[in-house]
Amino acid sequence: MSVEYDFPSIKLLVVDDDTFLTEVLTSQLQQEGIGEILSSANINDAKELVPTFKPDILLLDVNLPDGSGIDLCDFLRQTGFEKPIIMLTGKGSENDVIDGLNAGANDYITKPVRLGELLARVRAQLRQFKSFDAARFTIGPLEFTPANKMLYIAGKPKRIPLTEKETLILKMLVRSFPTPVAKEVLLQEVWGFQSDLATHTLETHIYRLRQKIKTLTEITFIFTTENGYGLVGGGF
């Protein structure tokens, strides 16, 4: 399966306190056709930018003035950010590379950054992430295709269409399997930062998703935990 990303539609966030490097990268990446590029020089600003800007990919320096980029990477993963993160590290920083990957980074680039290598890695990560939407996932007897928002049983004609929100919820549960996803993370990722949004909204969507699954099979695949929801079974 070949999946390509359209660069003009991409939103990229650079988190680095090196102003010169950030300006050079922004200029070069814009010349390569990347749609929107924003930058942040510290962790606090990045934490505010990520949920509002919603970047498709993030370039993150290990050393930031108000803390570690590795800790920020871990924070973003813990709070539900799923898009690719590429760490920017200094030469000989093997421990930083290991810690960054363990914190949830997808890749790393050693400074000084070479544009050709950076573009290749950005394309590779976007392609890999996009392939998730284009893929087909098996949940017990069910087949789930995020790209066309459809649930069905292989070999049977019945197809159950999903809403955008239902598709996003199921995608997050599949991505996280076998670990349940906290309600707060689902609310944040599916509806955005709406702190006043009652969990009842999420519960209603989960109920409807379960009812749609029930029209295909009596097996219960979405289970409830004290703080969220998870999937039973697999085959992803």
The whole-number pLDDT of residue 235 equals: 46
Average pLDDT of every residue of the chain: 85
Domains recognised in the chain with CATH numbers? 7-133 (3.40.50.2300), 135-231 (1.10.10.10)
**Lowest mean pLDDT across 38-52, 85-99, 184-198, 204-218:** 184-198
pLDDT for residue 96 is more than 90? no
Residue 128 falls in which region: left (phi positive, over 0), alpha (psi -120 to 50) or beta = alpha
Q: 40: which strand partners?
A: 15
pLDDT tier at 128 (50, 70, 90 boundaries)?
Answer: confident
Which pLDDT score is estimated for 3? 41
Sequence-distant (6+) residues with CB within 8 A of 211 are: none
Task: Give Cβ neighbours of residue 135 (< 8 Å, ≥ 6 apart).
Answer: 1, 145, 146
Which single residue is written with the structure tokens 């030469």? 91
Phi and psi (nearest 5°) for 232?
-95, 140
Whether 2 shows a pLDDT value over 50: the answer reads no
Helix, strand and coil in the chain, % to nearest 5 = 45, 20, 35
pLDDT of residue 78: 72
Mean pLDDT of the 77-87 span: 83
Going through the chain in order, the beta strands assigned E by DSSP cover 11-15, 36-40, 57-61, 63-64, 67-68, 85-89, 107-110, 137-139, 142-145, 150-153, 159-161, 181-182, 222-224, 228-231
For residues 67 and 58, give the distance between their C-alpha atoms in angstroms, rounded to a whole number: 17
Find the mean pLDDT for residues 92-112. Answer: 84
Please name the residues in contact with 155: beta carbons below 8 A apart, sequence gap of 6 or more.
Answer: none
Q: For residue 54, what are its two tokens?
A: 């919603």
What pLDDT does residue 137 have? Answer: 84
Beta carbons of 96 and 89 less than 8 angstroms apart: yes
Q: Please tell me the predicted confidence (pLDDT) of residue 109.
A: 93
**Residue bearing the bigger pLDDT, 98 or 16:** 16
Confidence of residue 184 (pLDDT cuts 50, 70, 90): confident
